[in-house]
């Protein structure tokens, strides 16, 4: 089963998994990604200009349920320098996800805590299911990323094969590990339409058609986010603004898979009334407004190799 950042994994194939009389389950897993990059001076002069060797991701993940399989939790800690957000922020922030979910039934569950917003598809795909080592540049600029608050996930019951999903969240609007004391929340709604039914093994949230879908599958998603009195340049991410701004983010994305082919497309737009914020001293900081695109095509040759 694919690892999803929108709920706990109850069955895992790898990692430690311990349960007790259906009262308690804890899975312990980790993910490590080491990076080796090198840039030469030029195509002719192959001496090293720059290197990028480092532990890119090191994550420890706990999930499972307590007392009742309806009450699930999901905790993810990150320990690498990039995970700790040291490069942009000023202090260590090991907590990535800290969510509690309650499942009313298999079609409706709610969450409380810190987790990924129901934003663009590429962001919600777990880093273990990405095809490239990093996400796209457009994702970096426009993604809603993680935030703290309430989350809800609802699958509309239908008789046909088509599948309709509604997701929503109310959050601080300040991203991971916010400080107390901010006014102005963030409101996110997302709608997903899967006209040909659900993907095998949650394939709408993994890159690459690892399952070789025997019949075409499509998922179309649209997200609208309103961030009231945002104080960071990219909403949940970015440096501090001098003044608060109300941001609006529009996202449309789609995933198509068939017989080893996978196409993922995303469109982003962020707007605000006045992107320029001014300090008393006359300095200016800008909200990152504008539009972006991300297109991703892949072909799986066999179950073991990918083009």
Which residue lies nearer to a second copy by CB, 58 or 262?
58
- Residue 234 phi, psi (nearest 5): -120, 30
Bridge-based pairing state of the strands 108-116 and 16-20? unpaired
Could you tell me if 93 and 170 are in contact, meaning their C-beta atoms sit under 8 angstroms apart?
no
Residue 174 or 204: the one with the smaller Cβ distance to a second copy is 174
Q: Which is nearer to a second copy, 30 or 250 (CB)?
A: 30
Q: Where along the sequence are the contacts to a second copy (CB under 8 A)?
A: 14-16, 18, 24, 26, 28, 30, 32, 34, 36-37, 48-55, 58, 62, 66, 73, 75, 77, 79-81, 84, 86-87, 91-95, 98, 100, 112-114, 148-150, 171-172, 177-185
Determine the longest span between alpha carbons in the chain, in angstroms.
65
- Taking the complex as a whole, the smallest distance from the CB of residue 3 to a second copy amounts, in Å, to 15
Query: Minimal distance in Å, beta carbon 22 to a second copy?
Result: 13
- Least separation in angstroms between residue 245's CB and a second copy is 16
Distance separating alpha carbons of residues 141 and 233, to the nearest angstrom: 10
263, 208 Cβ separation under 8 angstroms: no
What SS3 class is residue 265?
strand
In this complex, which beta carbon is closest to a second copy, that of residue 54 or of residue 70?
54
CA dihedral defined by 123, 127, 131, 136, rounded to 10 degrees? 40
Tell me how far, at minimum, the Cβ of 157 lies from a second copy, in Å: 29
How many Å apart are CA 221 and CA 286, to the nearest integer?
A: 29
* Minimum CB–partner distance for residue 147 and a second copy (Å): 9
Q: Which is nearer to a second copy, 149 or 238 (CB)?
A: 149
Minimum distance from CB of 60 to a second copy (Å)? Answer: 8
Query: Phi-psi region for residue 218, left (φ > 0), alpha (ψ -120 to 50) or beta?
Result: beta
Other CB atoms within a 10 A radius of the CB of residue 184 amount to 15
In the complex with a second copy, the residue whose CB is nearer, 15 or 152, is: 15
Distance CA 81, CA 83 (A): 5
């Amino acid at each position: 089963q694919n690892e999803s950042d929108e709920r706990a994994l109850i069955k895992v194939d790898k990692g430690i998994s311990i349960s007790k009389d259906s009262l308690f389950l804890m899975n312990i897993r980790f993910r490590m990604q080491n990076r080796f990059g090198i840039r030469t001076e030029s195509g002719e002069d192959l001496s090293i200009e720059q290197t990028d060797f480092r532990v890119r991701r090191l994550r420890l993940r706990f999930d499972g349920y307590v007392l009742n399989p309806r009450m699930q939790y999901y905790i993810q800690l990150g320990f690498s320098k990039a995970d700790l957000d040291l490069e942009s922020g000023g202090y260590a922030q090991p907590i990535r996800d800290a969510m509690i979910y309650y499942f009313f039934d298999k079609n409706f569950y709610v969450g409380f805590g810190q987790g990924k917003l129901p934003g663009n598809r590429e962001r919600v795909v777990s880093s273990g299911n990405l095809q490239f080592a990093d996400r796209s540049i457009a994702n970096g600029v426009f993604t809603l990323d993680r935030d703290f608050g309430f989350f809800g996930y609802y699958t509309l019951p239908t008789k046909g094969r088509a599948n309709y999903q509604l997701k929503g969240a109310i959050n601080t609007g300040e991203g991971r590990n916010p400080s107390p004391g901010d006014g102005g929340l963030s409101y996110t709604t997302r709608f997903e339409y899967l006209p040909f039914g659900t993907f095998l093994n949650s394939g709408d949230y993994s890159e690459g058609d690892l399952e070789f879908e025997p019949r075409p599958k499509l998922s179309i998603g649209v997200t609208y986010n309103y961030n009231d009195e945002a104080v960071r340049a990219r909403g949940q991410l970015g440096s501090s603004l001098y003044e608060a701004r109300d941001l609006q983010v529009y996202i449309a994305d789609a995933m198509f898979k068939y017989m080893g082919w996978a196409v993922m497309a995303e469109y982003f737009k962020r707007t605000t009334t006045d992107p320029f914020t001014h300090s008393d001293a006359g300095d200016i900081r800008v909200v990152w407004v504008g539009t972006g695109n991300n297109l991703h095509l892949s072909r799986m040759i066999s179950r073991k190799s990918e083009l």
